[in-house]
Structure 1
């Protein structure tokens, strides 16, 4: 199954597949209430809202990053209570550029869901085709029980990244904007800079000016250059808190370059320990 779906494709799917699960992942890092407010103002019919700060985030300790992953069993339990099982046909969307949708796409794949797609262009694309909108929350689905699946999307932790500095096994790709990677104009995390040895690939480069993913051949060409003859399995993606890194993971999947890992804690976890080295520039 291709990881992206167009607004027109979703419109057709809504009329054909009564079992379709739609998940609204709209969010704003500066205004945590905005996503829910936007959902209540209007959403794609049948969509269920998931909050990035509550539903898609584990307990924060101050040392595990701004968006630590929830416990896998807890997340599976949440999905089951919402009536979503691992075989469900799921489409995820956010406001426009796919950053938050890509994160939820990755999380769903992480717990064993295999039929997951992201709406290319998000809510904005849905508006462009004048798709139907509803304001009522959908009726609750019948809860389902899951069997615990092995993680199907690989992850590394801070200890793995630290060990990799002296004995390189993988290459880190940092999805943050160039200025934050260089250690300039850091306004989100308390320390500026990047993990030593990381290379920079801002997730925004995966998109055209209208917020749609670039064509497959363009994405593949760009990432082949970034990989520099390394296999996707030897790539680990990170960003500020593990969210926009998933956009690069999704873009690589679109390009047919599968198998890379995620460092969920990312820069916000890394820089919380001042014994870990930091690189500027």
Structure 2
């Protein structure tokens, strides 16, 4: 599930490896594409969170990053030169938040071999490896054919029905102040989904920005999977992106993949009939 800079470097030019640059900034949507043009891992194709990994926002109905329409996402995979047999390596600036979104989308389609570059471009640079300004020339491939596995996600309605289910743990990947409703820099309403647990995605990482060892991650997620406490784990965040980081980390630790609520907080608050909570409870 993870790949080191050294291992990825050894596979540059390997026809079975497809490298995807997922850099993005919520406060500057053009940042990732411009950064890609200024320098990227050789052979990498750019994936734009808003344009390639999400569907258009429907104001008042969807969250900020709805799941992409399947046929359009399959078309993007073909344009990127990806086949179902390829090893796909996703990276971003380092934390893996945007790379984990692509990882989840491919898992949703049943793609077997998807990896995240541990430490992202920051680790690649620290290892002394070169960047390229040459646009990638994806190989010509047939249409990518796959059917999404919607068992990996829950809708707002399904989540609403589970709020008081003691066999379900709902994990919020946002930072504690946003969870508590003490601040909300992005969405118009502050707070969290009732009975959710604050589980910031940054806690999956070491101070150096790489993923913690699997045994540490296993200890982190152990309580959420404890026998008799929770048979189902659901992850959300602000818009369904950083929640994928928790899903990836839990799975990396050896647990079954949690489900994703893709609309997340930004969709939840579009319906005033859905309850909200503030504070740390």
Q: 1:244 to 1:150 in 2, by over 3 A?
A: closer
Which runs of 5 or more structure 2 residues have no equivalent in the other structure?
none
**8 Å contact 1:4–1:120 — kept in the other structure?**
yes
Query: In the alignment, does 2:231 pair up with 1:213?
Result: no
- Residue 277 of structure 1 and its aligned partner are, at CA, apart by 0.4
Q: Distance in 1 between matches of 2:93 and 2:151?
A: 25
**TM-score, with normalisation over the residues of structure 1?**
0.94
Mapped pair 1:172 → 2:152: no
Following superposition, the deviation at residue 234 of structure 1 comes to: 0.4
* Most deviating of 230-239 and 54-63: 230-239
Q: Distance in 2 between matches of 1:152 and 1:22?
A: 26
Give the match for residue 19 of structure 1: 16
Change (3 A) 1:111 1:198: same
- 8 A Cα contact 2:169 2:230, kept in partner: no
Aligned length: 278
Task: Name the structure 1 match of 2:130.
Answer: 132
Range moving further from structure 2, 205-214 or 160-169: 160-169
Q: Give distance in 2, aligned partners of 1:263 and 1:218.
A: 25
Q: Are residue 112 (structure 1) and residue 110 (structure 2) matched?
A: yes
Determine the C-alpha separation between the residues in 2 that align with 1:39 and 1:150: 29
Compute the RMSD of aligned alpha carbons: 1.6
1:112 touches 1:152 (CA, 8 Å); kept in 2? Answer: no
Instruction: Determine if contact 2:250/2:257 at 8 Å carries over to the other structure.
Output: no
CA distance, structure 2, for counterparts of residue 121 and residue 166 of structure 1: 37
State whether residues 102 and 247 of structure 1, in contact with CA within 8 Å, keep that contact through their aligned partners in structure 2: yes
User: Which 4+ stretches in 1 moved above 6 angstroms?
Assistant: none
Aligned residue runs from structure 1 range 128-277, under 5 A: 128-151=126-149, 154-167=152-165, 169-229=167-227, 234-277=232-275
Label 1:169 to 1:160 Cα distance change in 2 as closer, same or farther (>3 A).
Answer: farther
Distance 1:232 1:68, change over 3 A: farther
* Structure 1 residue 232, shift from structure 2 partner: 7.6
Q: For structure 1, which runs of at least 5 residues remain unmatched after alignment?
A: none
Cα deviation 1:101-141 (Å, max 9, x = unaligned): 11111111111211100000000000011112110101232
Given that residues 22 and 32 in structure 2 are in contact (C-alpha distance below 8 angstroms), is that contact kept between their aligned partners in structure 1? yes
Q: Is the CA contact 2:224–2:233 (under 8 Å) kept in the aligned structure 1?
A: no
Per-residue displacement from partner, 1:182-222 (whole Å, max 9, x unpaired)?
00111111001000011110000000111000011101011
Which residue of 1 is the match for residue 65 of structure 2? 67
SS at match of 1:171: strand
Q: TM-score, normalised by structure 2?
A: 0.94
For residue 152 of structure 2, give the secondary structure of its aligned residue in structure 1. Answer: coil
Q: 1:152 to 1:128 in 2, by over 3 A?
A: farther
